[in-house]
Amino acid sequence: MNHPAKNSVTASLQFDFRGQSFKPSITVDLDSLMQRQGDLNGLHDMLAASIGLDSYRHEYDVMLLHEITFSEPSGLAMDFTLDGRLNFDGFIEAWQKQKMLRSIEPIARKHLDIVDLDQHPDICNALLESYRLGQIAHSRNNFRQ
């Protein structure tokens, strides 16, 4: 199985407040963020923390009015970053599919002797659907407990 590059992106923005310029910039490990919270929310908070701002400061409120610019993408983020924008929905969907593929590829190799699921799209789709149904059933069982 091919292990793709780490999924990351540099998030930055620039704003001025009371004659002072602020230029927070951070490298975001998208894999860690997705595993921790399942989405890409909270980037403004991460940028604020990188320059010592908390949500009680006026600078923070001004910062929230500015759009984050994305650069230096790696891994899947390369396919979803264009002109300083990150397609959040597209990245999340692709990241989740990649995660599912990592789970089903060993099963295909072990039980079906398939090394490259790209060569067997019908089998890949069947395994992905089974994976999704298993996740739904697992979620329902956890909810009932």
Structure-token pair, residue 86:
């990150």
What is the pLDDT confidence band of residue 3, given thresholds at 50, 70 and 90? very low
Model-wide pTM > 0.85: no
CB half-sphere exposure, 137, CA atoms < 13 A: 6
Q: What was the pLDDT predicted at 1? A: 40
Structure-token pair, residue 35:
């595993």
Residues 110-120: what's their mean pLDDT? 90
Helix, strand, or coil (residue 140): helix
Q: CA–CA separation, 20 vs 102, rounded Å?
A: 47
